[in-house]
């Protein structure tokens, strides 16, 4: 029998969505996700993304692979110019939307 009584301090526990990015994603990965989330159609060329974030190509490819392994982004061909770019997956968009909504809710409570 535990002689210590648990006391609820009333501190809200973060939801799983609130702890996904950026807690488990490095700064560069998080920057990529935010850039894609804020872009039109949630898609951007790898070259433009690297230029926007000032990230070297080899670092960009590492992070895109890491994010793709977690089903957050995928390669997509631009229908207009045929250039291959990066796009948020439906899962990635949902994760970011839930995270940003949870973050907004936390700030609204303050």
Q: Whole-angstrom Cα distance, residue 46 to residue 51?
A: 9
pLDDT in tens, 34-61: 999 998 777 888 889 999 999 999 999 9
pLDDT in tens, 1-34: 445 454 555 555 555 444 455 667 788 999 999 9
The whole-model pTM stands at 0.74
User: Would you state the pLDDT for residue 18?
Assistant: 46
User: Would you state the pLDDT for residue 2?
Assistant: 46
Closest CA to 32 of 88, 84, 101: 88
CATH classification number, 25-109, choose in 1.10.10.10, 2.60.40.10, 3.40.50.300, 3.40.50.410: 1.10.10.10
């Amino acid at each position: 029998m535990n002689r210590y009584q648990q006391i609820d301090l009333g501190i809200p526990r973060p939801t799983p969505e609130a702890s996904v990015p950026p807690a488990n994603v490095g700064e560069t990965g998080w920057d990529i996700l935010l850039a894609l989330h804020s872009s039109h159609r949630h898609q951007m060329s790898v070259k433009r993304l690297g230029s926007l974030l000032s990230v070297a190509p080899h670092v960009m490819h590492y992070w895109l692979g890491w994010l793709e392994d977690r089903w957050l982004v995928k390669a997509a061909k631009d229908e207009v110019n045929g250039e291959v770019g990066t796009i948020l997956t439906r899962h990635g968009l949902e994760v970011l939307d839930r995270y940003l909504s949870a973050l907004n809710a936390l700030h609204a409570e303050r």
